[in-house]
Structure 1
Amino acid sequence: MGSRVFKFIKREPVFLASLICAGVSMLLVPPDAAYSGYINTEVLCLLFCFMLVQAGMQSCGLLDFLAGKLLRGPKNLRTLTLLLVLLTFFLSMFITNDVALIALVPFTILILGRAGKKRSLIFTIVLQTAAANLGSMLTPFGNPQNLFLYSDFELSFADFITVLLPFAAVSLVMLCAACLFVRKEPLEPLSASAAAAPVRCRKRLFLFLFLFLLCILCVLHVFPYWVLTPIVAGFFLFVSRPSFRAVDYGLLCTFVCFFIFSGNMGRIPAVQSLIGEWLNADPFGTSVLASQVISNVPAAVLLSGFTDNAPALLAGTNVGGLGTIIASLASVISFRLYMRTENARAGRYLGVFTLVNAAGLAVLCGLYYLPGR
């Protein structure tokens, strides 16, 4: 029994932390009708749909096929890492940081395994996570906090870009520089079968790709999530029922716990008073700090009611996505995906993650506080 508990704690540290935070907050703010407004149903439904569709595409061998194609290009590990990081950075601008990681981290796990470079997995995934959080800042729909603040403050696109372009440009340089720490080790040649891995069940794959497109349209608010969810769930129920086992339900529960925690924190009078004082003194720093504790999306929603300084709030909640593992819930996604790999090492991952994120956070905060800004 003890060994099972230990394995569960090792496998689900973020979920347990979120559960404790939610439980403590519920003691401070007893459950009531307002709890129903905490949960972002759209985010949960989208995550569920993307994980289902991805499992379906994987069952058709799509990731194996793409991995074989990609490994024919780069000749060394540094080039491959740079390619994966840049792909995540730019893709996150258009399909959000969460979706980019859900799509690309499993691909990275597969491709580094095929290349015989599993020991580089942690550093690469950590860089991809930072790339998703930083690349997504450059578009109003790249992440949930941007979409909320862009609409809530009725910003123009020019104002939006003016605030975040310097941070995105410096972030891109930092990520490329970080890839220089990866050795230029040659990649193991693929076997003939792996290099030419075929796509199976092509007709079914086209249907999965169509559902993936619907998910993207839902992210862009072209297609409603309450229509998408029953369509995707119903399709997989009849066509690919085993895919339901691939859904990370622990991740969905983690999100629910964080929603409860952040919602309760915003209702505590002492916390509200403290937030008001800090925002008046330093709205950017307060946004960064709040993001470290309750994550940047809830921080954006919470703080927007206390200030009209949209540029500082926009910059702070985006830069604040770096830092702790919960600063951006997208970071929780990549950590969870890594922990499902064989021989995953949570302590080492969190150590590398903290080091990389602290360095990036220090540079971007320094950029904001430069004289003359």
Structure 2
Amino acid sequence: MGSFRNAAWRARDFFRRDAVLAIACVLAAASCVAVPPDAGYADYIDWRTIGLLFSLMVATSGLARAGVLARACRALVRACKSGGVLIAALAGLTFFVSMVVTNDVALVAFVPLALAALREAGLVRRLAFAIACMTVAANVGSMLTPIGNPQNIYLLSVSGMSAVELVGIMAPYSAAAFVLLAAAIGIAELRDRKRFKHIPSQMAGVNPKAPQESFALRDVLPWIALFVMCLLCVARIAPVWLVVVAAIALALAFDMRALRHVDYALLFTFVAFFVFVGNVARIEVVREAVAALVYGRALLVGVVASQIISNVPAAILVSGFTTDWPALLVGVNIGGLGTLIASMASLISYKQLAVAYPELKTCYFRLFTGLNCAFLAALLLLAAAIA
């Protein structure tokens, strides 16, 4: 009885510490009952994604420990005159960069910058809204280009459509979302103006007349080189194994603590979801149900499936039952909005905020869900109008 009680307490603590990882593990374990482990499990996990995320975390951790993010956030705070401008700058940067380095890479790189910049500016109360906006920006910006996210890369390959066609299909949705995002930030700034007039030029604990702290170039170059290697991996020029080896070697040579700051819980969350999705795709009754549902409803099924299993596996699953590629492309891209797991990239920003400010998790989840559902509804209306 005592051992059972202790196990229950440990399980409760596990859920409290990392609810997303805990849920992912439960789903993966439950799916293993329906599909017992076999050799097919080896094909479930996208090790390229795991390796790339690991390497990016090492690179950004190294840059942060070298002082790059601290200097960058101070420069950004000094350049922005209000909370709204600062949040808009962060969201805009994420929106455009995600088009060329993918949504997850953009969030791994810029969420730590946002956390540091808003903390230095005394805007911790607006962190949840800012990170939610950046997450939306990453998802709606990345949908525009063939290399912006994994589902676009996959669908471009299996559909036979050209890159120009893909951009043409997604341009109205990405543009509309950009306008909506700017409006949301503007409205939030107006509502906050009574309580917050402008960002003070002097940050807490810093004398604005004091000379800027410097860092040695030799401390930064290894992490810049690793970041460039990650970008080459995104472009499929450098193999992921080489990037992972470089990340570990550079950390061991220059700063072992960069390895300690990797969010291993997030990596295990991805692995658990890969197992769950892989097993679900092998359950015959599920496949038959999908075949019946998809016919003539590729866009809607893509959206709904994305809310449950995320948009990348949804794209893979639904693509086996339709040739309406434009509809599926739109469905899984706008379907990345909505629930927290609709896009696995959204887990990145949630995890980073939760680790830095665990007291903001509930507030962030509410803001994230409300903002994402509003954007999803608006883009669904746009899809209906275009159709």
* Structure-1-length-normalised TM-score: 0.96
Q: Alignment partner for residue 319 of structure 1, among 334, 337, 352?
A: 334
Letter in 2 for 1:26: C
Letter in 1 for 2:134: Q
Is residue 2:141 matched to residue 1:135? yes
Letter in 2 for 1:243: A
CA, structure 1 residues 193+340, in 2 after alignment: closer, same or farther (shift >3 Å)?
farther
Q: Alignment partner for residue 69 of structure 1, among 66, 71, 75?
A: 75
Residue 47 of structure 1 corresponds to 53
Query: What CA distance in whole angstroms lies between the structure 2 residues aligned with 1:210 and 1:238?
Result: 14
For residues 169-196 of structure 1, give each alpha carbon's deviation from its aligned partner in whole angstroms, at most 9, with x where no partner exists.
1000110011011234311222336985
Is residue 2:27 matched to residue 1:21? yes
Residue 148 of structure 1 corresponds to 154
Query: What CA distance in whole angstroms lies between the structure 2 residues aligned with 1:169 and 1:60?
Result: 37
Residue 325 of structure 2 corresponds to 310
Q: How does 1:248-259 map to 2 (within 5 A)?
A: 248-259=263-274
For residues 186-209 of structure 1, give each alpha carbon's deviation from its aligned partner in whole angstroms, at most 9, with x where no partner exists.
112223369854242321201210
Q: Alignment partner for residue 349 of structure 2, among 310, 315, 334?
A: 334
- Give 1:115 deviation, angstroms: 0.4
Query: What CA distance in whole angstroms lies between the structure 2 residues aligned with 1:194 and 1:113?
Result: 20
For residues 272-321 of structure 1, give each alpha carbon's deviation from its aligned partner in whole angstroms, at most 9, with x where no partner exists.
01111111031000000111111001111111111111111111110000
Is residue 2:207 matched to residue 1:201? no
Instruction: Tell me, yes or no, if the aligned pair for 1:297 and 1:328 is still in contact at 8 Å.
Output: yes
* Structure-2-length-normalised TM-score: 0.93
- Give 1:68 deviation, angstroms: 1.1
Q: Alignment partner for residue 98 of structure 2, among 79, 92, 110?
A: 92
Residue 314 of structure 2 corresponds to 299
Letter in 2 for 1:108: A
Letter in 2 for 1:283: A
Is residue 2:180 matched to residue 1:174? yes
- Give 1:344 deviation, angstroms: 2.7
Is residue 2:6 matched to residue 1:12? no
Aligned length: 372
Residue 126 of structure 1 corresponds to 132
Instruction: Tell me, yes or no, if the aligned pair for 2:146 and 2:167 is still in contact at 8 Å.
Output: no
CA, structure 1 residues 195+329, in 2 after alignment: closer, same or farther (shift >3 Å)?
farther
Letter in 2 for 1:189: S
Query: What CA distance in whole angstroms lies between the structure 2 residues aligned with 1:333 and 1:242?
Result: 20
Residue 160 of structure 1 corresponds to 166
Instruction: Tell me, yes or no, if the aligned pair for 2:311 and 2:343 is still in contact at 8 Å.
Output: yes
The worse-fitting range, judged by mean Cα deviation, of 219-228 and 31-40 is 219-228
For residues 47-77 of structure 1, give each alpha carbon's deviation from its aligned partner in whole angstroms, at most 9, with x where no partner exists.
0000001111111100001111111111111
Residue 3 of structure 2 corresponds to none
Letter in 2 for 1:314: L
- Give 1:29 deviation, angstroms: 0.9
Query: What CA distance in whole angstroms lies between the structure 2 residues aligned with 1:266 and 1:115?
Result: 47
Query: What CA distance in whole angstroms lies between the structure 2 residues aligned with 1:164 and 1:5?
Result: 43
Letter in 2 for 1:335: Y
For structure 2, list consecutive stretches of 5 or more residues without a partner in the other structure. 1-5
CA, structure 1 residues 83+3, in 2 after alignment: closer, same or farther (shift >3 Å)?
farther
Residue 188 of structure 1 corresponds to 200
Residue 225 of structure 1 corresponds to 240
CA RMSD of aligned residues (A): 1.6
Letter in 1 for 2:343: S
Letter in 2 for 1:161: V
Q: Alignment partner for residue 230 of structure 2, among 197, 202, 215?
A: 215
Instruction: Tell me, yes or no, if the aligned pair for 1:69 and 1:195 is still in contact at 8 Å.
Output: no
SS at 1:345's partner residue? helix
Query: What CA distance in whole angstroms lies between the structure 1 residues aligned with 2:210 and 2:98?
Result: 27
Identity of aligned residues (%): 38
Query: What CA distance in whole angstroms lies between the structure 2 residues aligned with 1:232 and 1:252?
Result: 15
CA, structure 1 residues 164+46, in 2 after alignment: closer, same or farther (shift >3 Å)?
same
Letter in 2 for 1:289: V
